């Protein structure tokens, strides 16, 4: 049985996917599973192609084991000096062809990809990547920082919005707030507004959750009624067969 928080997260992810798919049409996404992975890892390539099937950009994911030195909760973080082995979503590659740059395709591919892979692996709570890009230390303009990825080993935050770090590793916790950031960022891009998104309110989410619960409950009631009806029909048929058998036996005795 899904918890309230899991239902909310899944609702937000579905909203994001619908927004992006609708916005990108007639362009479409292709999801390819990679077969030749090692050590029990699972790989995926998600491509964005245009209306004549030319590739615009793509993102590569790997489901793998990774050592985390800091784990996050809903409101706290805990240091793990010796490391904690976790199953994670690892972002291995994100790219857009030069002729398509400047249209926010990269960040939309990233957001869409995170939603799709997280829906497939809902129990995984962390996503990781190595950010060696030119803007890796720029908190304001870095594509991953905008979505909540943080350096595993930040050492100093500078006044110009840059951070000096010990390495390229970045991690994010896939809690509810992460998906609300992605939802609002998607709306900012789609509505072409610089500063304000269209937030998915808690009240709106609550209504969607209640509607989903009502649908689930309705299906369960229908399934239960159907099961009872089948059992009743089965009992009736059984009684009918027994009555016919007794009648046939009685006729034999009378003869």
Please work out, in degrees rounded to the nearest 5, the angle formed at the alpha carbon of residue 19 by the alpha carbons of 176 and 170: 45
| Spatial distance between the Cα atoms of 15 and 178, rounded to a whole number of angstroms | 14
Give pLDDT, residue 197: 39
Give pLDDT, residue 85: 86
Buried b (16+ CB within 10 A) or exposed e, 134-165: eebbebeebbbbbbbbbbbeeeeeeeeebbeb
Residue 126 has pLDDT above 80, yes or no: yes
Instruction: Find out whether 182 and 138 touch, Cβ atoms under 8 Å.
Output: no
Give pLDDT, residue 253: 66
Q: Write down the mean pLDDT value for the chain.
A: 79
| Spatial distance between the Cα atoms of 69 and 90, rounded to a whole number of angstroms | 16
DSSP label of 100:
G
Give pLDDT, residue 74: 39
Structure tokens at 185: 């960022």
Residue 207 has pLDDT above 60, yes or no: yes
Structure tokens at 189: 């891009």
Mean pLDDT of 153-167: 55
Three-state SS for 52? coil
| Spatial distance between the Cα atoms of 103 and 100, rounded to a whole number of angstroms | 7
Confidence of residue 163 (pLDDT cuts 50, 70, 90): low
Give pLDDT, residue 1: 57
Structure tokens at 106: 């990269």
Residue 183 has pLDDT above 50, yes or no: yes
Q: What is the end-to-end Cα distance of the chain in Å, rounded? A: 62
Mean pLDDT of 187-212: 61
**Chain centroid to CA 231: how far?**
40
Give pLDDT, residue 71: 65
Mean pLDDT of 10-14: 94
Give pLDDT, residue 97: 95
Which of 28-37, 198-207, 241-250 is the least confident region? Answer: 198-207
Give pLDDT, residue 195: 36
pLDDT in tens, 64-101: 998 887 666 433 445 555 668 889 999 999 999 999 99
- Which helix (H) or strand (E) covers residue 17, if one does? helix 4-24
Please tell me which residue, 54 or 140, carries the higher pLDDT value.
54
Q: Taking the model in full, what pTM does it have?
A: 0.69
Mean pLDDT of 222-246: 73
Residue 134 has pLDDT above 70, yes or no: no
Confidence of residue 5 (pLDDT cuts 50, 70, 90): confident
Confidence of residue 2 (pLDDT cuts 50, 70, 90): low
Is the torsion defined by CA of 190, 192, 196, 142 positive or negative?
Answer: positive
Mean pLDDT of 109-135: 90
Structure tokens at 250: 């009685």
Mean pLDDT of 241-254: 71
Three-state SS for 174? coil
């Amino acid at each position: 049985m899904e918890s309230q928080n899991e239902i909310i997260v899944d609702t937000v992810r579905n909203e994001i996917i619908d927004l992006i798919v609708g916005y990108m049409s007639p362009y479409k996404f292709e999801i390819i599973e990679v077969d030749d992975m090692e050590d029990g890892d699972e790989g995926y390539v998600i491509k964005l192609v245009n209306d004549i099937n030319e590739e615009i950009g793509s993102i590569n994911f790997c489901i793998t084991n990774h050592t985390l030195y800091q784990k996050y909760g809903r409101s706290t973080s805990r240091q793990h000096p010796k490391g904690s082995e976790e199953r994670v979503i690892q972002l291995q590659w994100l790219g857009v062809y030069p002729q398509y740059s400047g249209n926010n395709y990269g960040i939309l591919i990233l957001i869409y990809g995170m939603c799709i892979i997280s829906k497939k692996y809902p129990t995984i709570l962390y996503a990781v990547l190595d950010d060696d890009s030119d803007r890796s230390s720029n908190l304001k303009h870095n594509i991953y920082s905008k979505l909540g990825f943080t350096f595993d080993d930040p050492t100093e935050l500078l006044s110009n919005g840059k951070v000096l770090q010990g390495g390229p590793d970045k991690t994010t916790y896939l809690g509810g707030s992460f998906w609300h950031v992605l939802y609002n960022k998607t709306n900012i891009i789609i509505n072409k507004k610089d500063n304000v998104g269209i937030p998915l309110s808690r009240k709106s989410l609550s209504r969607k959750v209640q509607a989903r619960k009502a649908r689930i409950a309705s299906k369960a009631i229908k399934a239960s009624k159907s099961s009872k009806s089948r059992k009743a029909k089965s009992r009736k048929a059984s009684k009918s067969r027994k009555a016919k058998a007794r009648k046939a036996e009685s006729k034999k005795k009378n003869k």
